[in-house]
Homo-oligomer: A and B are copies of this chain.
Amino acid sequence: MSKVAVIMGSTSDLPIMQEAIDILKGFDIEVEVDIVSAHRTPEKMFEFGKTAHEKGISVIIAGAGGAAHLPGMVASLSPLPVIGVPVKSRNSINGWDSVLSILQMPGGVPVATVALDGAKNAGILAAQIIGSSDKCVLDKILVYKQGLKEKVIKGAEEVKS
């Protein structure tokens, strides 16, 4: 069965990244969580990136702030699809730093970037990637999207009444 790794540069990113973990668990997808810092534990990152596809992991979600190198470096090391979550760190210049250092990868090494602090969407995207070859997960995505719709319809009724 497919497994998603959710890694982040620092425990301080966990409150944001937890949203990815929660949504994946809601889809009954196995999640492996770890702290892997590109700048402080480069050897661990190397080991992680080089071997992830041999350990049953299908998709990697990597969150980082500031000059956020973790998603791109893991994408450099792994053949798996890597989803990058730009986290708005304490001394960030409005999030531009993490957005651009994750998004603007050179030709050859893509990172699937989601919105600033968009860990929830990273989780959904990982599920969609698994769902693209797993009918059961695809159906759960369809149900999830139906749920989004119903919540809006209900909100609309309240506004009108």
Contacts and interface: CB of A to CB of B under 8 A. Distances in A.
Given A37-B152, A155-B11, A93 B96 contact: yes
Contacts of A77: 42
A36 B156 contact: yes
B106 A103 contact: no
Contacts of A117: 91
A134 B107 CA distance: 23
Contacts of A109: 39-40, 121, 124, 148
B80 A104 contact: no
A79 B138 contact: yes
Interface residues of A, number: 91
23 contacts: A2-B133, A10-B106, A34-B160, A38-B76, A42-B73, A65-B106, A67-B106, A68-B101, A79-B141, A79-B145, A81-B125, A97-B104, A103-B113, A103-B114, A103-B115, A104-B115, A105-B114, A108-B121, A108-B144, A108-B145, A109-B148, A129-B132, A130-B133
Interface of A: 2, 9-11, 14, 33-42, 44, 46, 49, 53, 58-59, 65-69, 72-73, 75-77, 79-81, 83, 88-89, 91-97, 99-118, 120-122, 124-125, 128-134, 138, 141-142, 144-145, 148-149, 151-153, 155-156, 158-160
